[in-house]
Amino acid sequence: MLLALFSCGKAKDLPVVDQVDLEKYQGRWYEIASLPQRPQRHCKCTYAEYTIEGDKVKVYNRCIDKRDDSVIDINGKAVAEEGSNNAKLKVSFFIGLVKAPYYIIELDENYQYAMVGTPDRHHLWILCRETSMEEELYNSLLNKAQDLGFPIEKLNITKQDC
């Protein structure tokens, strides 16, 4: 048990983009692919919506359950880590009980695609302003994720057919 605790705290640092303009980052981002998470394992048509509210970013995640077409959604908030130029956020759901890292590791200059991960390499999202992404760009992001140590063989492509 102690070994597990210590190994969690020693995750290799994850490089992030130099700076994120949250005004430009806000809006809707469609999930192109992600490392599977228990609450979203039956999701399709997944997107996240970010809205600036004061010094925080309101987070709204939504998907459709593939089994019965019901909506699964959750609200949260994000706060930039001090000194990170908004590239490292802490996202919390459930009234702030759980705060998770949200590191923006790739972002194009026009804010049309992004790749976000966690330092422990357990979570990864490839996001786009559109419901699909050019294959060449997607493969380039996969290569970067693999170079950063993410298990891309476990990546799930998100169906966006709604």
| Nearest to 148, CA basis, from 13, 19, 33 | 13
- In this prediction, residue 95 carries a pLDDT of 67
The reply to whether 46 falls in a domain is yes
- In this prediction, residue 139 carries a pLDDT of 98
- State percent of the chain over pLDDT 90: 83
pLDDT tens, residue by residue, 98-148: 789 999 999 999 999 999 999 999 999 999 999 999 999 999 999 999 999
Total structural domains in the chain? 1
Element (H, E) at 143: helix 135-147
- In this prediction, residue 3 carries a pLDDT of 26
| Nearest to 61, CA basis, from 80, 21, 34 | 34
- In this prediction, residue 82 carries a pLDDT of 95
The reply to whether 4 falls in a domain is no
Count of Cβ atoms closer than 10 Å to residue 47 Cβ: 18
The reply to whether 144 falls in a domain is yes
Q: How many CA atoms lie within 13 A of 34 on its CB side?
A: 26
The reply to whether 83 falls in a domain is yes
| Nearest to 24, CA basis, from 71, 57, 2, 1 | 57
Q: Cβ distance 80 to 8 under 8 Å?
A: no
Task: Give the lowest-confidence range in 3-7, 66-70, 115-119.
Answer: 3-7
Residue range of the domain that includes 45: 14-157
Mean pLDDT in the chain? 90
The reply to whether 162 falls in a domain is no
The reply to whether 87 falls in a domain is yes
Task: Please report, for the domain that includes residue 57, its CATH number.
Answer: 2.40.128.20
β-pair type (71-80, 88-93) = antiparallel
- In this prediction, residue 39 carries a pLDDT of 72
